[in-house]
Amino acid sequence: MAKVINIQPITRIEGHASIHIQLNDQGNVQETKVAFKSLRGFEKFVEGKPAEELPRIVSRICGICPWMHHIASNKAVDACFNVTPPPAGNLLRELMLTIAHIEDKLLHFFFLAGADFFWGPEYDFSVRNIMGLVKANPELAEKVIRMRHKAKMVLDSFSKKTIHPVAGVPGGFVKPLSIEDRKIFIDNVNELLEFALFALEYAKKNVFPKFDESYPGLGEITTGFIGMVDNKGSLNLYDGNIRLMKPDGTSKEFRPDEYLDHLAEKVVPFSYGKFPYAKSWGEGFSMDLDAPKGIYRSNTLARINVADQIATPRAQAELEEFRDLYGRPAQSTLLYHYARLIEEVYTCERAIEILKDPRIINPEVRAKVEPCAGRGVGCVEAPRGTLIHDYTTDEKGLITRVNLIVGTTHNLAPINLSVDRAARDLIKNGVYDDAILNKIEMAVRAYDP
């Protein structure tokens, strides 16, 4: 008999979403929908606010990646007001963004998604989580909690407010970094780098091998990818061009402020989140599992797929190993986790690089700002993907129009496809259990939405 399976809410993710699987009379999957249920209206309700206040407002879009919104917003306001931050201001912004990435990846891998792999999707749900890890492997858990906290405290000691930050300001950064702080940070980030390398080794031994054994092809789809690269084609999280890669591996590059020529968004009836697609491929949009159109993905796997290389040595070595195994572009959905830990190594290395840059302690951290009419696009890579803030101001510098494409939204269509794929593969003749449903959710968690 035809019926609908609701998985509600999807757990261990940020945000509010649910899965609805429509079965046909034979008990096989007919249609799958992943609904994104939050509509807060940021784009509208910031109207009329002074642009310089936005970095302190829009961070509330997400409490897990507030730094990325904060900094993308600052960049957009800079562009509206035509200012360029001095080098130290830019470096400090990038430093904060990078350390926030370090923290986020630990959070996602160990606190949210990891539990599926440490125990397996069928394990008792009351244990299958970070609290369970504390009981089962207190040593590892304690280390994870301490390391994540260490990254957080580096941000905290300098910028005080780490959730919904205030330290980035239009024109640059609020204050310079002292020589003493710089030294302490380098020590701390070095420790984080060591942990990142340990975590990657650990996962290569204990987690990634399970992907093929236990979840062959879970939620696997073939899509294009999006991510930012610098002028040498290397992975960059703070600045650069957006590279949009087709499923066949060919790609096009464009400046962030040209995004409207390449991307468009579709409104679907079952989700408050809009579904972006690659307009410039000229094939339209379709979520047909057998012939998807315009679908590309963002987030870790996407970034390491579009980048030609990573400019730091340890992460580059890991990337080469990864590519030897899975090719480029790698498509398997669970590989997001692998890519995440490679990026973890990169962010630690990059943070040290930034800290060692002699310009970082320059006391000149902010350029003078005058409000004016303008339009500006601010773009950074958030953990969940290419984050675009596009603002327009009037001559007083008040906001008249805002368009936001948030990292996660790029992945909304792919998440739908992956979940559909997983559901079709796992639910047969009306047979399913909690473990199967959790496996289907794992297809969502890989994307870390």
Partner 1 sequence: MPIKLAGESLNACSGCEISILDMGERLLKLLEFVSIIHFPLLMDSKQGKNNSRIVKLPKADVGLISGSIKTDEHLELALAMRDSCDFIVALGTCATHGGIPALANSFHNEDLLEYCFNTEGTDKTDGFPSHIVPELLDACYALDEHINVDIFLPGCPPHPDHIFRALQSIDKNESFSQSKKSVCDNCPATRDGKGQVKTLKRALELPRWHAGDDKKEGFKCFLEQGFLCMGPVTRGGCGGDKEHARCIMTQIPCRGCYGPVKKESNQRLSMLNALASNGIDISSLPETLSMLRFSGGHGLLRPLPRIKES
Residues 61-100 within binding reach of ligand SF4 (CB under 6 A): 63
Cβ neighbours of residue 195 closer than 8 Å, sequence gap 6 or more: 143, 147
Region near partner 1 per CB under 8 A, out of 219-227, 270-278, 310-318, 410-418: 270-278
Residue 15 in contact with ligand SF4, rule: CB under 6 A: no
Binding residues for ligand SF4, rule CB under 6 A, total 3
Q: What is the DSSP code (8-state) at residue 178?
A: P
Do residues 93 and 74 touch, judged by C-beta distance below 8 A?
A: yes
Cβ neighbours of residue 24 closer than 8 Å, sequence gap 6 or more: 2, 30
Q: Which does 61 bind (CB under 5 to 8 A by kind): partner 1, ligand SF4, none?
A: partner 1
Q: Closest Cα partner for 420 from 298, 196, 270?
A: 270
- Binding-site string for ligand SF4 from residue 324 to residue 363, where x marks contact by CB under 6 A and - marks none: ----------------------------------------
Q: In the range 123-182, which residues lie near partner 1 by CB under 8 A?
A: 125-126, 128-131, 134, 142, 145-146, 148-149, 152-153, 159-164, 166-167, 169-170, 174-175
Q: Measured from the CB of residue 84, what is the shortest distance to ligand SF4 in angstroms?
A: 27
Residue 314 in contact with partner 1, rule: CB under 8 A: no
Do residues 228 and 237 touch, judged by C-beta distance below 8 A?
A: yes
Residue 57 in contact with ligand SF4, rule: CB under 6 A: no
Q: Measured from the CB of residue 159, what is the shortest distance to partner 1 in angstroms?
A: 6
Q: Which does 49 bind (CB under 5 to 8 A by kind): partner 1, ligand SF4, none?
A: partner 1
Q: How many residues does the chain have?
A: 449
What DSSP letter does each residue of 381-419 carry, written as one string? EETTEEEEEEEEE-TTSBEEEEEEE-HHHHTHHHHHHHH
Find out whether the peptide bond into 329 is cis, omega within 30 degrees of 0: yes
Side chain identity at residue 449, one-letter code: P
CB-facing half-sphere around the CA of 326: CA atoms within 13 A = 21
Q: Which does 39 bind (CB under 5 to 8 A by kind): partner 1, ligand SF4, none?
A: partner 1
Q: Which CB, 66 or 374, lies closer to ligand SF4?
A: 66
Among 20, 60, 175, 401, binds ligand SF4 (CB under 6 A): 60
Among 20, 37, 143, 161, binds ligand SF4 (CB under 6 A): 161
First vs last C-alpha separation in the chain: 33
Cβ neighbours of residue 306 closer than 8 Å, sequence gap 6 or more: 225, 226, 227, 229, 243, 244, 245, 251, 329
Residue nearest to ligand SF4 (CB): 60
Q: What is the DSSP code (8-state) at residue 177?
A: P
- Binding-site string for partner 1 from residue 52 to residue 81, where x marks contact by CB under 8 A and - marks none: xx--xx--xxxxx-x---------------
The torsion of the CA quartet 159, 163, 167, 170, rounded to 10 degrees, works out to: 170
Region near partner 1 per CB under 8 A, out of 182-190, 224-232, 267-275, 336-344: 267-275
Residue 267 in contact with partner 1, rule: CB under 8 A: yes
Interface residue list for ligand SF4 (CB under 6 A):
60, 63, 161
